[in-house]
Amino acid sequence: MYKNKTVSIVMPAFNEEENIFHAVKEFGSISFVDEVVVIDNNSKDSTNRRAVDAGARVVVENRQGYGYACQRALREAKGDIIILVEPDGTFSAHDVEKFLAYSNDFDFVIGTRTSKEMIYAGANMGAFLKWGNWFLGKLIEVLYNAPSLTDVGCTYRLINRSSLNKIMDRFTVGGSYFSPEMMILAIQSKISMIEISVGYRQRTGVSKITGKKWNAFKLGLRMIKLIFAYKIKNVFSY
């Protein structure tokens, strides 16, 4: 609990047996955290069992896709404050306190992995991904008059319950480009938000999304399409 508010850590997971136990234990050990929820997105390995053994509440999401898993994670959280994070070892539980500190002044706190001082050895954040995420962040920033954004792909973020309720029923993306949709919906709903630097470590296991440049490039194109689609929709809604 943080300042009389309950805190939920939620993790979308697909075949993350190599690190899920450690991730649940690491984030669950933070004194402010009241629950850890893992959304098993049809894993074929022992992700489910390992998460339960570590003390998480596990929910199965049958619709395949990162976005669907994130949506289910946000819906399943019981806390007043919800922190979304991936359980692949790239993010540190030490940053939870940083997110909570910023939640005193902002309703939506987004992590960025693009600060070179915070990128650990072995992390998958080469020039292609770093500047691609920066470009997409600035695209949203300019088109939507948003706060400073440098990393649309960072999945480490905090949102409070009242703000989540404003956008929950508007989610449409079930795929890997869910993150920018959540940002855009928050901006359109005038939810106060800020981006903060977080540590980014080497992944445990194999990346399902950005492990190959071609996959990352295609994902970037899909994000661009989404960003412009929302802008055009907004223009013609008046």
Give the chain's residues under pLDDT 70: 125, 205-214, 234-238
Cβ contacts of 93 within 8 Å, gap of 6 or more: 26, 27, 29, 30
CATH of the domain at 230: 3.90.550.10
In a domain, 2, yes or no: no
**So what's the pLDDT on residue 208?**
54
Q: How many CB atoms lie within 10 A of CB 169?
A: 6
Within a domain: 1: no
CB 78 within 8 A of CB 35: yes
3-state secondary structure at position 196: strand
Partners of 235 in the beta sheet?
none
98 falls within a domain: yes
Per-residue confidence (pLDDT) for residue 209, from 0 to 100: 59
pLDDT at residue 234 in the model: 62
pLDDT for 201 equals 85
Domain that holds residue 45: 7-235
Q: Which letter does DSSP use for residue 160 in this model?
A: E
Residue 220's pLDDT is what?
76
Count of the separate structural domains present in the chain: 1
Q: What is the pLDDT of residue 236?
A: 42
- Examine residue 45 and state whether it is found in any structural domain, yes or no: yes
Residue-wise burial string across 12-22, b where 16 or more C-beta atoms lie within 10 A, e elsewhere:
bbbbbbbbbbe
Q: Of 81, 84, 86, 85, which is closest to residue 103 (Cα–Cα)? A: 81
Burial state string for 213-227 with b = 16 or more CB within 10 A and e = fewer than 16: eeebeebbeebeebb
| pLDDT at position 238 | 38
pTM: 0.89
pLDDT for the residue 237:
46
How many Cα atoms within 13 Å fall on the side-chain side of residue 199?
A: 16
Q: Is residue 192 part of a domain?
A: yes
Quote the pLDDT of residue 153.
Answer: 87
CA angle (39, 87, 185) in 5-degree steps? 65
pLDDT at 202: 85
DSSP string, 38-99: EEE-S-SSSHHHHHHHHT-EEEE--S-SHHHHHHHHHHH--SSEEEE--SSSSS-GGGHHHH
